[in-house]
């Protein structure tokens, strides 16, 4: 890319985006920094809330000043609320466990910021994500790849990037071997955020009670007492509200198992206001239904494809078969634990992201025969 063409760096105030901006300045690029102010409420001190809070904006401004680059702050609180916060609440109310980082990437960072990039006449949008992008001349397509360092790879939460978006985005940190390497670079460049801790996973949840307390304050009417039942439907206790639970949860159920084996949340049934609990082996599944399937390569297939897949960010990839078509799904070679509706399933071939989507509800038993025939 021509170094005379300006690039827009999304600066969150953290060490990753700060190093990305500094690296490009050092390489001679014309850099513009932009910080999204999207959330700043905190029960303690708003200066120390999550990314893009008031404190984070000040950190980003300080880094931009040290680098000698122009820096803009834009208020995207309404857009963030509609695309991320409201979705977060609605999904929990529906008995699903959403991934707000994916929603933010899809609807805020890589939609709104790309629009701003073009408005400012920039050639690329640069972020501090750990992933890589490659262009294949033979196919004429862009590929989203895992970061060179497996420790901080974030390709999982970037699976929804389209071909057009991949052509306009740059992840300089994807080539670094580790987060430690990033911090060393920050220290060597004299950045004030070199030792700044990573932001919490859910940037807008600062309540002491975590996400459940956040939901309770935002929409108290979705917390209604109901039955805890076992997998046979027998009542075994009472819960304080379906949104306070997620599949795979062990702590906070409020039951002492008679068998002596620990109990886990197996399923959520908001339409019945029930939480289903059971033992660890009842969490195992081989089939994972997917909706809103996105093909990172730009072209999908309906037939089976052998992949390595994961259904959680911090999960090691497992062998599976990916089916597209009208009923997208992953069928794992070995059972996987705690398949959680609302979370993300991503499929890889080698280092390349093939496709990903949102995990749907468990497929009814009467569809198992058809699935088996497909394989």
Nearest-angstrom CA–CA distance, 78 and 98: 19
* Per-residue tokens: 128: 């501090």
Nearest-angstrom CA–CA distance, 312 and 346: 9
Is the Cβ–Cβ distance between 179 and 151 less than 8 Å?
Answer: yes
Identify the sign of the CA torsion 330, 335, 340, 344.
negative
CA 374, distance to chain mean position in Å, is 30
Does the annotation count 327 as an active-site position?
no
Residue 170 class from Cβ within 10 Å (0-12 exposed, 13-18 middle, 19+ buried)?
buried
- DSSP classification of residue 108: I
- CA-nearest of 349, 11, 324, 353 to 162 is 353
* C-alpha separations of 341 from 288, 290, 291, 307, 373 in Å: 9, 9, 10, 21, 24
Catalytic residue among 51, 101, 104, 122: 104
Does the annotation count 101 as an active-site position?
no
Determine how many CB atoms are found less than 10 A away from the CB of residue 75.
11
Catalytic residue among 52, 101, 122, 203: 203
Determine how many CB atoms are found less than 10 A away from the CB of residue 67.
21
Q: E-strand spans in 141-199?
A: 141-146, 169-170
82: left (phi over 0), alpha (psi -120 to 50) or beta: alpha
Nearest-angstrom CA–CA distance, 162 and 77: 24
Q: Report the DSSP beta bridge partners of residue 34.
A: 10, 72
Residues annotated catalytic, as ranges: 104, 203
């Amino acid at each position: 890319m021509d170094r005379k063409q300006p690039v827009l760096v999304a600066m969150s105030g953290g060490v990753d985006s700060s190093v990305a901006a500094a690296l490009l300045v050092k390489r001679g690029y014309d850099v513009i920094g932009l910080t999204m102010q999207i959330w700043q409420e905190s029960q303690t001190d708003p200066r120390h809330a999550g990314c893009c809070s008031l404190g984070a904006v000040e950190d980003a401004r300080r880094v931009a000043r040290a680098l000698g680059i122009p820096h803009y702050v834009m208020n995207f609180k309404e857009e963030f609320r509609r695309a991320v916060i409201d979705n977060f609440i609605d999904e929990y109310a529906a008995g699903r466990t959403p991934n707000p980082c994916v929603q933010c990437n899809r609807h805020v960072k890589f939609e709104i910021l790309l629009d701003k990039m073009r408005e400012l006449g920039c050639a690329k949008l640069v972020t501090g994500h750990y992933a890589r992008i490659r262009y294949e001349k033979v196919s004429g397509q862009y590929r989203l790849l895992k970061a060179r360092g497996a420790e901080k790879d974030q390709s999982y939460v970037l699976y929804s990037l389209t071909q057009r978006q991949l052509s306009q985005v740059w992840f300089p940190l994807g080539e670094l071997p580790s987060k430690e390497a990033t911090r060393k670079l920050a220290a060597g460049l004299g950045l004030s955020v070199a030792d700044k801790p990573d932001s919490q996973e859910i940037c807008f949840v600062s309540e002491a009670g975590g996400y459940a307390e956040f939901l309770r304050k935002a929409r108290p009417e979705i917390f209604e007492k109901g039955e805890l039942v076992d997998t046979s439907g027998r009542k075994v206790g009472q819960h304080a509200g379906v949104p306070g639970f997620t599949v795979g949860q062990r702590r906070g159920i409020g039951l002492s198992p008679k068998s002596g084996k620990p109990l886990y949340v197996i399923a959520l049934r908001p339409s019945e206001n029930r939480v289903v609990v059971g033992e660890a082996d009842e969490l195992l599944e081989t089939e994972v239904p997917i909706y809103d399937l996105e093909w990172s390569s730009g072209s999908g297939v309906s037939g089976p494809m052998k992949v390595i897949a994961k259904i959680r960010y911090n999960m090691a990839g497992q062998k599976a078969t990916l089916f597209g078509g009208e009923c997208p799904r992953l069928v794992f070679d070995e059972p996987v634990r705690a398949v959680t509706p609302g979370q993300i399933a991503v499929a890889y071939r080698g280092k390349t992201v093939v496709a990903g989507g949102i995990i749907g509800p468990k497929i009814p038993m009467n569809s198992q025969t058809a699935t088996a025939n497909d394989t």
